[in-house]
Amino acid sequence: MRISYSLLSFAAAGSFAAAHPSAGGFQCGSEPTPEFEALAAKVVPSNPADFDAQATIEIKTFFHVVAASQSVEDGNVPDKMLQDQLDVMNKAYAPHGFAFKLANTTRTFNSNWATGGNELEMKYALRQGTYADLNIYFLKQFKEIVYANCPFPSNYGRGTPNYVKDGCMIPSSTVPGGSNARFNLGLTTVHEIGHYMGVYHTFQGRCSSTLGDRVSDTPAQLDGSTGCPEGRDSCPDEPGLDPIHNYMDTSDE
């Protein structure tokens, strides 16, 4: 997805709060590129009211189910669960002016790809649409410690490896009703789409009172949450408790 000043300004305009996805004992693999950091530093925060009258931005979305076999246990997510995932995405982003329209769903049975192997090969084979469209790959599991991943937006040339890598890789166990009891409300995907749109973790700036996640009403946070630590205050010298119910934290669902 291309970087746009309007999108970055949206990210800086107000809190991305409510329920939250999380990695708990895992690690989100999404990190901003230096290019994105440089552009984000230039953005002047806008008044949230500036965005109230704008038309909803519709994002064409492609789902790719990548399973080890045709069984649900091997990552073959049923259509009903995919629809539930889409519904969760739209419910989360509708208040912020975004809607996701499913353009196509593919199903691929490849035990290597389903466990995170040969990412670039997989995406060259499966990716659809343009750089303005969202591709989401639901994998059975990941070989590395990384729990989920969605690159931050950058202006890559068409056909380059980084262009093709654009999109989100999500464990299929985290869709609504999935097998991961701690993270099966579909909010892991909501979290990763936030990165796709250029939104930082709530703890991006740790206890910095000047930078943080560049959202003015997000309390400072030292690091990601685990479990559901109500009342946690990891930056006691800064106002507010940790925003554990923010989509961009890493607490349990």
Is 192 known to be catalytic? Answer: yes
Q: Is 198 left (phi over 0), alpha (psi -120 to 50) or beta?
A: left
**Angle in degrees, CA 168, 157, 61, rounded to 5:** 30
In our burial notation (b when 16+ CB lie closer than 10 A, e otherwise), range 229-246 reads eeebbbbeebeeebbbeb
CA dist 173 and 114 (Å) reads 12
DSSP 8-class letter at 177: T
Find the catalytic residue in 35, 119, 121, 192.
Answer: 192
Q: Among 211, 201, 214, 210, which residue's Cα sits nearest to residue 242?
A: 201
Q: Which residues participate in catalysis according to the annotation?
A: 192
